[in-house]
């Protein structure tokens, strides 16, 4: 077909200016997806798109919005689920190197884990374990996690390497540990780490007083004060065990751990409390008033027969509550997807009500709820314009995921961590079609496997049974 020159120019005028100047530039466009925004209205786009520029989400909506953008990379996800990255509000990532060791031993923490750690925790162990755990989390759709352990500056380097987001809490505990001879040394280590990572775009450094019973009142008060002064989070195990409750009741004339922490001024809106199993209505009211975050770790809690936290009540009461895996010697996996179906089902069981804890609440806890638990809901946890671009894509074609009448049900009752296909964190593509792009997965796995010989030698020497 021939055009006269004026006609051709007219035709071009209708197209060229639109793509050349009216279209805004973007870095990544995800399109043709079932978009679960997890915004305040829980908006779902059945054929939707998410547009990312630099580190942020700049548009979310029906696929038609993509016409307005000229993107460096366009990902047609062919009907798969696009959702906010999952948030793991409590773990000890480096403990992957101990996974499957001496499970189910009574009084395991004091009889087994602390002695094992006193022999083995080192910069090497922390780095090797964190590298492996980071890969597991990315492959399981986790984009942000909160960690409590030792040598957190080593963990920080692994997090930067893979390109995840993390709150890293340096442990403060009253007995000698690998990187500090007492609680004050732990505080000093943490302060140094906080100064080093204060303005890092991916890492939020934090204090991690181990628990109320394993620290003095003075230490807990000192950490609380410093957390306000430095404006950093405080990660702590709280209301987790009967042993803890007994020690604290003795220390405080009968207060519960939550009441005790409030009474000494150690609860504030920097605190993220893991577990919160042994809490009554008064404790829950205090947690709400003090605006603390809560990490609900169902899988680990029931594995240790510790009980089921009243997480559903805390969620319904409007507390800041998200999901956590706990460490890989406790959970034993690091993928938040592995928590979903246990969280949904256990709350039904203990409430004798099959309609309790519906899937949408579980997904809320895993995303925006986790963000609220970490006091980061202004930055992450939902797909909304202006939020940081932490986005995952879930395969809807794996046989366990077919069909999908209700995407929340499919995620909670059917999905496993291997159904996560792609992960974008802080606007950067970290995993595509299950291949992690930023680190060498094979090398990381081999380093972890090699390290197991160190663990075996130590455990066998100590006379403990590995198998």
Binding residues among 106-125 for a copy of itself as defined by CB under 8 A: 106, 108
Q: Is 127 in the site for a copy of itself (CB under 8 A)?
A: no
Q: Which is nearer to a copy of itself, 47 or 282 (CB)?
A: 47
Pick from 96, 204, 241, 382 the residue near a copy of itself by CB under 8 A: 96
Q: Give Dmax over CA atoms of the chain in angstroms.
A: 94
Containing 53, the helix (H) or strand (E) segment is: strand 44-53
Choose one: 173-181, 316-324, 348-356, 384-392; the region binding a copy of itself (CB under 8 A).
Answer: 348-356
Residue with token string 């609900």: 296
Q: Which is nearer to a copy of itself, 253 or 453 (CB)?
A: 453
Q: Is 37 in the site for a copy of itself (CB under 8 A)?
A: no
Q: Is 101 in the site for a copy of itself (CB under 8 A)?
A: yes
Residue with token string 């080192």: 122
Judged by CB under 8 A, the chain residues 408 through 447 that form the site for a copy of itself are: 409-410, 413-414, 416-419, 441, 445
How many Cβ atoms from other residues are within 10 Å of residue 280's Cβ?
12
Q: Which two tokens stand for residue 43?
A: 């908006």
CA–CA gap between residue 294 and residue 42 (Å, rounded): 22
Choose one: 10-18, 51-59, 183-191, 394-402; the region binding a copy of itself (CB under 8 A).
Answer: 394-402
> Angle at the Cα of 311 (from 309 to 312), degrees rounded to 5?
130
Q: Is 43 in the site for a copy of itself (CB under 8 A)?
A: no
CA–CA gap between residue 246 and residue 212 (Å, rounded): 11
Judged by CB under 8 A, the chain residues 131 through 190 that form the site for a copy of itself are: 132, 135-136, 139-140
CA–CA gap between residue 337 and residue 55 (Å, rounded): 25
Kindly tell me the sign of the dihedral angle through the C-alpha atoms of 217, 218, 219, 225. Answer: positive
Q: Is 359 in the site for a copy of itself (CB under 8 A)?
A: yes
Q: Is 78 in the site for a copy of itself (CB under 8 A)?
A: no
Choose one: 15-23, 152-160, 273-281, 327-335; the region binding a copy of itself (CB under 8 A).
Answer: 327-335
Q: Which is nearer to a copy of itself, 128 or 374 (CB)?
A: 128
Choose one: 144-152, 254-262, 309-317, 352-360; the region binding a copy of itself (CB under 8 A).
Answer: 352-360
Containing 320, the helix (H) or strand (E) segment is: strand 320-323
289: helix, strand or coil: helix
CA–CA gap between residue 378 and residue 383 (Å, rounded): 11
Pick from 30, 75, 95, 97 the residue near a copy of itself by CB under 8 A: 97
Residues facing 81 on adjacent strands = 34, 394
Judged by CB under 8 A, the chain residues 192 through 231 that form the site for a copy of itself are: none
Judged by CB under 8 A, the chain residues 257 through 286 that form the site for a copy of itself are: none
Tell me how far, at minimum, the Cβ of 84 lies from a copy of itself, in Å: 19
Pick from 32, 91, 335, 426 the residue near a copy of itself by CB under 8 A: 335
Q: Is 240 in the site for a copy of itself (CB under 8 A)?
A: no
How many Cβ atoms from other residues are within 10 Å of residue 178's Cβ?
17
Pick from 14, 318, 399, 463 the residue near a copy of itself by CB under 8 A: 399
38-50 core/surface letters (b: 16 or more CB in 10 A; e: else)? bbeeebbbeebbb
Radius of gyration, alpha carbons of the chain: 23
Pick from 326, 325, 361, 364: which is nearest to 344 by CA?
Answer: 361
CA–CA gap between residue 341 and residue 116 (Å, rounded): 32
Q: Which is nearer to a copy of itself, 28 or 430 (CB)?
A: 430
Pick from 111, 354, 435, 443 the residue near a copy of itself by CB under 8 A: 354
Judged by CB under 8 A, the chain residues 302 through 321 that form the site for a copy of itself are: 302-305, 307-308
Pick from 24, 64, 406, 462 the residue near a copy of itself by CB under 8 A: 406
- Do residues 372 and 332 make contact, with C-beta atoms less than 8 angstroms apart? no
Choose one: 31-39, 94-102, 165-173, 268-276; the region binding a copy of itself (CB under 8 A).
Answer: 94-102
């Amino acid at each position: 077909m021939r055009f006269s020159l004026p006609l051709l120019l007219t035709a071009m005028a209708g197209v060229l200016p639109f793509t050349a100047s009216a279209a805004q530039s973007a870095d990544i466009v995800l399109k043709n997806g079932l978009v679960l925004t997890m915004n305040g209205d829980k908006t779902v786009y059945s054929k939707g798109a998410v547009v990312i520029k630099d580190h942020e989400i700049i548009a979310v909506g029906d696929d038609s919005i993509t016409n307005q953008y000229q993107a460096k990379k366009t990902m047609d996800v062919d009907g798969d689920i696009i959702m906010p990255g999952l948030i793991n509000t409590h773990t000890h990532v480096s403990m992957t190197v101990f996974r499957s060791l001496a499970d189910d031993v009574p009084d395991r923490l004091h009889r087994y884990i602390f002695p094992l750690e006193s022999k083995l925790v080192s910069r090497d162990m922390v780095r090797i374990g964190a590298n492996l755990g980071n890969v597991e989390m990315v492959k399981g759709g986790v984009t942000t996690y909160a960690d409590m352990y030792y040598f957190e500056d080593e963990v920080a380097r692994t997090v930067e390497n893979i390109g995840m987001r993390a709150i890293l809490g340096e442990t403060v505990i009253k007995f000698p540990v690998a990187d500090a001879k007492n609680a004050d040394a732990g505080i000093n280590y943490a302060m140094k780490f906080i100064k080093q990572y204060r303005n890092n775009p991916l890492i939020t450094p934090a204090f991690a007083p181990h628990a109320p019973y394993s620290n003095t009142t003075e230490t807990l008060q000192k950490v609380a004060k410093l957390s306000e002064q430095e404006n950093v989070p405080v990660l702590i195990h709280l209301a987790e065990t009967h042993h803890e409750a007994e020690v604290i009741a003795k220390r405080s004339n009968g207060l519960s751990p939550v009441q005790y922490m409030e009474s000494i001024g150690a609860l504030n809106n920097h605190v993220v409390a893991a577990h919160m199993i042994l809490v009554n209505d008064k404790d829950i009211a205090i947690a709400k008033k003090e605006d603390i975050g809560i990490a609900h770790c169902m899988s680990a809690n029931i594995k240790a027969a510790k009980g089921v936290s009243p997480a559903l009540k805390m969620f319904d009461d409007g507390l800041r509550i998200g999901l956590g895996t706990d460490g890989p010697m406790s959970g034993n996996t690091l993928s938040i997807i592995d928590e979903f179906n246990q969280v949904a089902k256990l709350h039904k069981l203990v409430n004798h009500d099959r309609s309790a804890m519906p899937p949408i609440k579980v997904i809320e806890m895993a995303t925006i709820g986790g963000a609220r638990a970490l006091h980061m809901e202004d930055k992450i946890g939902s797909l909304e314009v202006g939020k940081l671009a932490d986005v995952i894509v879930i395969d809807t074609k794996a046989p366990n995921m077919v069909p999908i009448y209700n995407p929340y049900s499919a995620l909670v009752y059917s999905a496993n961590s291997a159904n996560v296909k792609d992960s974008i964190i802080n606007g950067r593509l970290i995993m595509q079609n299950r291949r992690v792009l930023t680190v060498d997965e094979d090398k990381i796995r081999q380093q972890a496997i090699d390290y197991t010989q160190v663990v075996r030698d130590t455990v066998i020497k100590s006379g403990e049974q590995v198998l």
